[in-house]
Amino acid sequence: MHVFYQPDNKKHFLETDEAHHCIKVLRARPGDELVVTDGRGGVSKGTIVSINPKRVEYQVRDFYQVPLPDYRIHMAICPTRKAERNEWMVEKMTELGVHKIQFVISEHTHRETMKRVLNPERLIRVALSAMKQSQQFHLPEFAYFLNLDTYLGQVEAKERYIAYVASEDIPRHLIQQLSPVRPVEILIGPEGDFSTAEIEAAQAADFKPVSLGDTRLRTETAAVVACHSAVLAQIQ
């Protein structure tokens, strides 16, 4: 099953990249069945009625709403300096079922670098492709360019964890601390780690330190395995 994307579930046609993929890659024909999502849980099942070079029109036979799960996974990350590592991280967290991805500016992040390594339009395309590929119907929410202090003041989830490298006492592993079926917020440190003041500020905002294992993980690996741990916490 291939899933297509049309953000407006009142519009029954595919355009641009989606139409191109449908026509050129999958070589769809009038009469073919298709599945279209609006990225907000809405799923349309229908039949292609006409194809022209830039547009695929379809008739919807069935529309239903896939609910979000009871839990929510919110990841907050100080991005890495390489665009492709940030894109990879977004792709993998989306495949796993992340609900929100928040990029945070810390002392060791250059704001200018962030603008260069995080392209919101490109990240949405990566997430869109990963959502369809993994046969999900909800696009993760994105938020950009918040200073750590502002971020700490806006967190809603009561269950909050922070992963960083420099730690005298090694905390318990995230998987040993997570509760099932609750919104969870996980904050991942930057290359070069958080400053001591930042770690203190996060702990004052009720973020509990967690370990992500015995090996030292790159930022994007830490984000993906933390997200995966949060998924696993729901099934045990």
Interface pick for its own copies out of 21, 74, 92, 99 (rule CB under 8 A): 92
The total of other beta-carbon atoms located within 10 Å of residue 132's CB is 22
For its own copies (CB under 8 A), the number of binding residues is 27
The least CB distance from residue 110 to its own copies, in Å, is 19
Question: Segment near its own copies (CB under 8 A), from 142-150, 156-164, 201-209, 216-224?
Answer: 216-224
Beta strands at 100-105 and 141-147: parallel, antiparallel or unpaired: parallel
Q: What 3-state class would DSSP assign to 131?
A: helix
Q: Which is nearer to its own copies, 71 or 151 (CB)?
A: 71
Question: Segment near its own copies (CB under 8 A), from 36-44, 114-122, 177-185, 228-236?
Answer: 228-236
Q: Is residue 225 near its own copies by the rule CB under 8 A?
A: yes
Q: Is residue 173 near its own copies by the rule CB under 8 A?
A: yes
Q: Is residue 228 near its own copies by the rule CB under 8 A?
A: yes
The CA-atom distances, in angstroms, between 189 and each of 103, 127, 148, 198 are 11, 22, 11, 10
Q: Which is nearer to its own copies, 8 or 169 (CB)?
A: 169
Q: Is residue 193 near its own copies by the rule CB under 8 A?
A: no
Q: Is residue 97 near its own copies by the rule CB under 8 A?
A: yes
Query: DSSP string spanning 101-123?
Result: EEEEE-TTS-HHHHHHH--HHHH
Q: Which is nearer to its own copies, 144 or 192 (CB)?
A: 192
Beta bridge partners of 102: 76, 143
The least CB distance from residue 37 to its own copies, in Å, is 14
Chain positions 125 to 154 lying near its own copies, rule: CB under 8 A, are 133-136
Terminal alpha carbon distance of the chain: 29
Strands (E), the chain: 3-5, 13-14, 33-37, 42-52, 55-65, 72-77, 100-105, 141-147, 159-163, 183-188, 208-210
Task: Tell whether the torsion through CA atoms of 76, 154, 108 and 169 is positive or negative.
Answer: negative
Question: Segment near its own copies (CB under 8 A), from 29-37, 43-51, 90-98, 104-112?
Answer: 90-98
Chain residues that interact with its own copies, rule: CB under 8 A? 88, 92, 95-97, 133-136, 173, 175-176, 213-218, 221, 224-225, 228-229, 231-232, 235-236
